[in-house]
Amino acid sequence: MSDIDLSVNIGKFKLRNPIMLASGTVGYGNEISEFSDLNKLGAIVTKSLSLKPRKGNPPQRIVETPSGMLNAIGLANVGVDIFLKEKIPFLKKYDVPLVCNIAASTVEEYVECTRILDSEETIKAFEINVSCPNVKDGGLQFGNDIKAVGLVISKVRAVTNKPLIIKLSPNVSYISEFAQVVKNEGGDAVSAINTLVGTAFNIITKKPKLYNVNGGLSGPAIKPVALAKVLEISRKVDIPIIGIGGIMNWKDVIEFMIAGASAIQIGTLNFIDPTAPERMIKELEDYCVSNQLNKISDLTASYLI
């Protein structure tokens, strides 16, 4: 074992390493645990939870695009009550910080979900999804409205002392303005970015490939966009950033950290190689050794511009 310190702080939220698994790409942990030792990871973020169970969109929900994929799942989830009853017992067995992602259609629903989940000690932090592009009644409409985002944060802040991460939409002109609101209203960190709105057509039938018409673009196709958004926030707002967007290997992790991220989330890659995140931890350590870096956190915002 080397003496490299891989731990990172996202404000008051401490992780053993910067590798988090992104919401919507790990379910509630049980399937991915067959491939990966969850205890080695920095944190896992649950599938978005809503107050009531959501069925999600009809098929087709997924389309592959050049170096990426579109998804329009529609926040299918079990709802907070079943999550606490049926999913938490499995997650309790692990010593990995659990972040609950919350999605809602109204400010009141965000608050109620957080309030209900707050008393569960297994949950170490919340990630508020104000940016899902795939539901008609919520998500992105909040993510695009800076006042609504501010209101959600201040109201949710009032019902929890746990770290509050706001997952930001890239589908805005200036993401840093949203990050500033997060800071002003008492949020602890931002995660950037959620998926980009996109669509695809069948050229024979002239119909959209996705039932929902639009979906969220993820995968390596969006990495340069995500890096630019992380950098923009890093240069304008003093708030911890969790970088997300098309990370496929350890080099991408380093790149996001240089651009300003304190930690990162792996998403689409979990669908392709669920063993990759755990492997990256060792690879990050090797990078630190060969670059005489004692603490990986020194990489955060180390860009020379």
Partner 1 sequence: MLIVNSPVVETIQIHENIFIQKILSPEIAHNSNPGQFLNIRVSETANPLLRRPFSICDVEGDNIFIMFNVMGEGTKILACKQPGSSVDILGPLGNGFNLDDDFEIAVIVAGGLGSAPFPYLTRKIGKSKKIISFVGGRSKNDLITYSMMNFLTSTDDGSEGFKGNVVKLLEENRDKLDKEKIKIFGCGPNAMLKSLKDFSIKYDYNCEISTESAMACGFGICQGCPIESTQNPDKYLLVCKDGPVFNVKDVNL
Catalytic machinery residues: 132
CB 211 to partner 1: min, Å = 10
Q: Taking a C-beta distance cutoff of 8 angstroms, is the pair 193, 242 a contact?
A: no
Residue 72: CA count within 13 A, CB half-sphere: 22
Between 251 and 295, name the residue whose CB sits nearer to partner 1: 251
CB of 252 to partner 1, least distance (A): 12
Interface with partner 1, residue 275, by CB under 8 A: yes
String of DSSP letters for 97-111: -EEEEE--SSHHHHH
Number of other residues whose CB lies within 10 A of the CB of residue 156: 25
3-state secondary structure of 284: helix
Q: Does 11 bind partner 1 (CB under 8 A)?
A: no
Cβ 214 to partner 1, closest distance in Å? 16
Site string for partner 1, 23-62 (x = CB under 8 A): -xxxx---xx-xx-----------x-----x-xxxxxxxx
Identity of the residue, 163 or 245, whose beta carbon is nearer to partner 1 in the bound complex: 245
Is 272 among the residues that bind partner 1 (CB under 8 A)?
A: yes
CB 43 within 8 A of CB 20: yes
Candidate list 202, 207, 271, 295; residue touching partner 1; CB under 8 A: 271
Least Cβ distance, residue 85 to partner 1 (angstroms): 16
Inter-residue contact 157 to 150 (CB < 8 Å) = no
Comparing CB distances to partner 1, the nearer of 216 and 260 is: 216
Residue 170 as a binder of partner 1 (CB under 8 A): the answer is no
Q: Does 121 bind partner 1 (CB under 8 A)?
A: no
Strands (E) across the chain are located at: 8-10, 13-15, 19-21, 43-45, 62-65, 68-71, 98-102, 123-129, 164-167, 189-192, 196-199, 214-218, 241-244, 263-266
Check binding of 203 to partner 1 (CB under 8 A): no
Burial 99-117 (b: 16+ CB within 10 A, else e): bbbbbbbeeebbbbbbebb
Binding site for partner 1 (CB under 8 A): 24-27, 31-32, 34-35, 47, 53, 55-64, 66-69, 71, 73, 76, 219-221, 248, 268, 270-275
